[in-house]
Structure 1
Amino acid sequence: MRIILVCSAGMSTSILVRKMRNAAEERGMEADVNAMPESELHAHAGNVDVVLIGPQVRYLEDQIKEKVKGYDVAVAVIDQMAYGMARGEKVLDQALELKSE
């Protein structure tokens, strides 16, 4: 599974990426989790399964959905509580649920 977290290039997102990678590894699943600003997303739109948006940039949701339109990509805003507490396992669960819908 390929997951991109869209952020404003903050420190908390890089911590969350690391925790999500660890959670995936503990589950024995392969997950390619990366963070990037919205401006770089267009280059990856065809090579991602899920795009999760940091709560602080939730206003970008419509723009991001437009960028990945035509691709099989699930898009949602990261649960604010899970983001704030850097609960990588919860955000990974959110990504898995989105992809299974």
Structure 2
Amino acid sequence: MKKIFLFCDAGMSTSLLVSKMLEVVNKHNLDIHIEANPCIKAQALIQDQKPDCVLLGPQVRFMLGKMEDICKPLNIPVDAIDSVAYGAMDGEKVLKSAIRMIKKSQAK
């Protein structure tokens, strides 16, 4: 099972996006776990659970450098969610982006 973690300021605004992403996961019977959490829990969750991909809500894009410092040693890809896809709550687009990130990191 692949794990995708989304982080935002409080973990609330990404919850709806997670729901939209899970609709796509369920529709296509994918073996993917997705969850949203507040950034304050990021380091512990990433180090303990080692997700396959980390995505940041656009409102915490400024934390990308810190997240890269946490994720890079663990070979976990991390990026900020496209703000247009986020605003539209386009779960399919965000999920496809995460899957591409995972495949790219595994190809290394």
Question: Would you call these one fold, judging by a TM-score over 0.5?
Answer: yes
Kept in 1, the 8 Å contact 2:12–2:36? The answer is: no
Distance 1:62 1:44 in 2: 17
| Larger deviation, residues 88-97 vs 39-48 | 39-48
| In the alignment, structure 1 residue 57 sits paired with structure 2 residue 65 | no
SS at match of 2:63: helix
TM-score normalised by structure 2 residue count: 0.86
TM-score normalised by structure 1 residue count: 0.92
- 1:31 corresponds to which residue? 32
- 1:69 corresponds to which residue? 72
Percent of paired sites with the same residue: 37
Distance 2:5 2:69 in 1: 16
- 1:83 corresponds to which residue? 86
CA RMSD between the two structures: 1.3
Tell me by how many angstroms 1:10 deviates. 5.5
Residue segments in structure 2 that go unaligned for 5+ positions in a row: none
Residue segments in structure 1 that go unaligned for 5+ positions in a row: none
Give the count of matched residue pairs: 101
